[in-house]
């Protein structure tokens, strides 16, 4: 798994790729984390305040 900090653009890009190839039903945190080669918990660790908006 990668150790670089992912930007919002990284997550949006991954989501757009999944949307284009598989549809809205596949755009999920678990799927995006897998495609970005990170753990699911990493999103929360990088952006804990953003999850509570």
Are the C-beta atoms of residues 15 and 27 closer than 8 Å to each other? yes
Domains of the chain: total: 1
Q: How far apart are CA 28 and CA 15, in angstroms?
A: 8
| pTM exceeding 0.75 | no
Q: Where are the alpha helices (DSSP H) in 1-53?
A: 8-22, 29-35, 41-46
Question: Is 1 contained in some domain?
Answer: no
Q: How many residues does the chain have?
A: 53
Is residue 32 in some structural domain? Answer: yes
Domain that holds residue 24: 8-52
Residue 21 in any domain: the answer is yes
- Tens of pLDDT, residues 7-49: 889 989 999 999 999 999 999 988 998 999 988 887 667 665 5
Q: Is residue 42 part of a domain?
A: yes
**Is the pLDDT confidence value at 53 over 70?**
no
Q: Considering the domain boundaries, does residue 18 fall inside one?
A: yes
Give the pLDDT of residue 7: 85
Residue 38 lies in a domain: yes
* Token reading at 29: 């945190």
Q: What is the CATH number of the domain that holds 22?
A: 1.10.10
């Amino acid at each position: 798994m990668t150790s670089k900090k992912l930007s919002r653009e990284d997550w949006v890009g991954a989501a757009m790729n999944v949307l284009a190839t598989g549809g809205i039903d596949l755009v999920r945190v678990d799927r995006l984390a897998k495609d970005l080669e990170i753990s699911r918990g990493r999103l929360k660790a990088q952006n804990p305040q953003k999850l509570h908006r």
